[in-house]
Structure 1
Amino acid sequence: MNPSHEPTALIIVDMQKGMVNDLPRNNPEAEAHIRQLLEHWRACARPIVHVRHLSRTPGSPFWPGQPGAEFQDPLAPGEHEHVVDKHVTDAFSQSGLERWLHQRGIRSLVFVGVSTNMSVEASVRSAACLGFDCMVVADACYTYDRPDIDGKLRGAEDIHSVALANMSGEYARVLPVAELLRNQ
């Protein structure tokens, strides 16, 4: 996975209670895969970062103090795991995450979470532009159906695939959870 044997951080993006809803989405096994990776990282005592979106819009389910802003119970941070609060899609923007990673000598990042085409993609692009070696676990991310610019509804699977294609190569290595764990 990381040939230089530098520490690799697991970055879990926006796995909050407000993301649990009835909207059409892809990858129903994403949470199970994220949990599998979280347990593996914990067992190996590797660095884990939980990113949480806190909205600046009153009434949002992600407004601070609302139940939707809290982490999903099975994926909640452990006592010694780092939590990053963000107010925009990019986990690196004005959050201190880049500094936290540099202070610990972490240059390699594995991204999982929601939404593939929003916060995951924005954070991966920033991380790569900042010089981090990024991986995205395709089956540990998901997104929702969404209309395109012309109002035509696009399916979550297509949106997910395009977002992964956008990141693949220039910004990140995209791989399934089984391959990531096999190459440990």
Structure 2
Amino acid sequence: MSAPKTMLQLTGRGYLPASLGQATLLIIDAQEEYRSGVLSLPGLDAAVAEIAALLAEARRLGSPIVHVKHLGVPGGLLDPQGERGRHLPEVAPDGQEIVVEKRLPNAFAGTELHDRLQAIGNLDLIVCGFMTHSSISTTVRAAKDYGYRCTLVDEACATRDLPDTRGGVVAADEVHRLEVIALADNFACVVANARALR
């Protein structure tokens, strides 16, 4: 029996990883909620370090950078007026980088993200941030519908433990691993870390 192939391989539509010098860096929901809030993520610090490396290199190269910020519930998750809704300081916008605000997991839904990306002119996106199974997944899947080619940086994403449908728990690293596998099947080229893009 032959080894399974991804849909991208089977259809001949796969592509090489994007170059940081010729792509737009898309940082999704790198916010305080995921460090100190109810949605604190295991492995967050390692993922933030990878995002910081991507951000530093993109800035050095003068590449376009778009930060997506989720506007949550006042007084609740990702509070848009409180600490938990703020960008993590290590990877916060520098004041000149684009910030797109969203209210749904998919960063294209009801936002100007597509228009901002079209104005930049890059079809290649390098994607990182939180959470892998939610905003990362929905945005990467939607990006394909808009004609973008996503390169997903595995170690620059993270997610949380989830309850399963049988009363158990699926560990965050397994949720993350399976979501990355699913995205690599038909929606993104996946690389391990920031070093893979240099």
TM-score, normalisation: structure 2: 0.84
Q: Percent identity?
A: 30
Q: Give yes or no for contact 1:107–1:132 (8 Å, CA) kept in 2.
A: yes
TM-score, normalisation: structure 1: 0.90
Corresponding residue for residue 21 of structure 1: 36
CA distance in 1, matches of 2:139, 2:65: 15
Greater helix share, structure number = 2
Structure 2: runs of 5 or more not aligned: 1-16
Structure-2 change in CA distance of 1:142 and 1:2 (3 Å): closer
Q: Give yes or no for contact 2:23–2:122 (8 Å, CA) kept in 1.
A: yes
Corresponding residue for residue 66 of structure 2: 49
Query: In the TM superposition, what whole-angstrom CA distance separates every residue of 1:12-59 from its partner, at most 9, and x where no partner exists?
Result: 11111111038462464111111000000000000001111101x343
Task: Tell which deviates more after alignment, 16-25 or 163-172.
Answer: 16-25
Corresponding residue for residue 181 of structure 2: 165
Pairwise CA RMSD: 1.9
Q: How many residues align?
A: 179
Structure 1: runs of 5 or more not aligned: none
Q: Give yes or no for contact 1:6–1:108 (8 Å, CA) kept in 2.
A: no
Query: In the TM superposition, what whole-angstrom CA distance separates every residue of 1:122-152 from its partner, at most 9, and x where no partner exists?
Result: 1100001211010100011011111112231
CA distance in 2, matches of 1:117, 1:21: 19
Q: Give yes or no for contact 2:25–2:66 (8 Å, CA) kept in 1.
A: yes
Q: Which has the larger radius of gyration?
A: 2
CA distance in 2, matches of 1:24, 1:33: 15
**SS state of the match for residue 20, structure 1?**
helix
CA distance in 2, matches of 1:93, 1:124: 12
**SS state of the match for residue 36, structure 2?**
coil
CA distance in 2, matches of 1:78, 1:125: 28
Deviation of residue 105 (structure 1)?
A: 1.0
Corresponding residue for residue 119 of structure 1: 135
